[in-house]
Amino acid sequence: MKVAVVGAGVCGLSAAKTLARRGHDVTLHEQFELFHGRGSSHGASRIVRRAYSDPFYTACMSEAYPLWAELERESERELVHEVGLVYFGSQDADNIRSVATGLSDLSVPFEIYDHRQIHKVFPDLKLKDGEIGIWTPEAGWVNAASALKALAEVGIQSGLSIQTGSVADVSRLANENDIVIVTAGAWITRITDVPVKVTLQTFAYIDAQIGGPVWIEDSEDQPYGFPTDEQGQKVGIHRAGHEIDPEIDSRQPNEAYLDAIKTTVRDRFGIQTANLRHPKTCLYTTTVNEDFLLGNLAPNVFFGSACSGHGFKMGPWIGRLLADFAEGKDHPSNHPRFASFPKQLSEYR
């Protein structure tokens, strides 16, 4: 089967790699250079975890999480640093209770620690009276840049072709190929009318030595962070930033979010005057309920938008789903939580 994949982020590379390993003739089309930094899949680190406030995604991660180890075996690369995760907040918060319930229902190992006990797994974190931290050992961070290179290498070894530097004409590709898979990230709205908005997110590296697990705070900003590496302690804000056009708008970090990062590291790690190094941005392609979108654009054209800031960790799994759609083993209609109404192709503008 001849397949074209549009977009070389984690989902596109995963789909292309999977289909190439299954013996298909696959060409991956990327409008920029491979591994560019304009989208959502670049960078040094992404959180991987099995714990979610929505039990539906906890269940999805039961399938998705092991695929990272599979990619490590295929590529002979170390990608996942399994340092664990602490998800923390008020013991009475709905999200906190939902995380614990979902993990318990799926028999995922976890422990709960209060503000007096959290030092057992996260010595640097400061919780308040009435807050708890949910610790899951099956979590950590993946080297995003290495993961993309691993996917490309394994795909190329299996016969994958990659074309870069020009915008793909999806309608033409649909006529020239048996199947087309569109994983265009923040550019998906230039191909079809899907209910997403593209926002600019802000993160930075703190000049501090913080060890331990990755972490997520259950709050309005939903800050998250990583243990210190050679660049510092990476801390970001999950709450959606301002909407942008990825083609033309400025990519300057949001000063209000940088202030929120400073407040977080002060309150949670006792860093009174944070020195923010390397403030940076990335793109979220966000749905109103933060669900992913999968669907058909034409009988032989599928699309995937694993978005809303939590898609990277499921990239290999979304890629496998899209590969199954291409082979007729599965269909978006079998996944109603992700299914979008069929859309018509639109021209790039």
Q: Can you list the residues of the chain whose pLDDT is less than 50?
A: 342, 347-349
H or E element at residue 26: strand 25-30
- At 307 the pLDDT is 87
Identity at 136, one-letter amino acid code: T
Give the containing element (helix H, strand E) for 48: strand 46-49
Beta bridge partners of 161: 27
Strand partners, 47: 141
Tell me how far apart the alpha carbons of residues 193 and 196 are, in angstroms, rounded to a whole number. 9
CATH 3.50.50.60 location in the chain: 2-44+143-191+289-334
Side chain identity, residue 338: F
pLDDT at 345: 56
The whole-number pLDDT of residue 343 equals 55
Q: What is the H or E stretch that residue 87 is in?
A: strand 85-90
Q: What is the CATH number of domain 2-44+143-191+289-334?
A: 3.50.50.60
Q: Which residue is associated with the tokens 């403030």?
A: 279
Q: Indicate left, alpha or beta for 215 from its phi (over 0: left) and psi (-120 to 50: alpha).
A: beta
Cα separation, 196 vs 261, whole angstroms? 26
Both tokens assigned to 271: 């860093």
User: CA separation (Å) from 217 to 23, 156, 231, 256, 343?
Assistant: 43, 39, 22, 18, 37
- DSSP notation for 195-236: S-EEEEEEEEEESS---S-EEEE-SSS-EEE---BTTBEEEE
* Dihedral, 231, 233, 237, 238 alpha carbons, nearest 10: 90
Tokens representing 209?
Answer: 């030595």
Tell me how far the alpha carbon of residue 114 is from its chain's centroid: 29
DSSP track, 242-303: -B--TTTS--PPPHHHHHHHHHHHHHHH--SS--EEEEEEEEEEE-TT---EEEEEETTEEE
Name the token pair of 258.
């940088």
pTM of the model: 0.95
> Are 39 and 244 contacting, i.e. CB atoms less than 8 angstroms apart?
no
Where exactly does CATH 3.30.9.10 map onto the chain?
A: 55-142+197-286
Per CATH, the homologous superfamily of domain 55-142+197-286 is D-Amino Acid Oxidase, subunit A, domain 2 (3.30.9.10)
What does R_g of the chain's alpha carbons equal in angstroms? 20
pLDDT for the residue numbered 347:
43
pLDDT of residue 340: 61
Element (H, E) at 316: helix 315-327
Rounded Cα gap, residues 271 and 277, in angstroms? 14
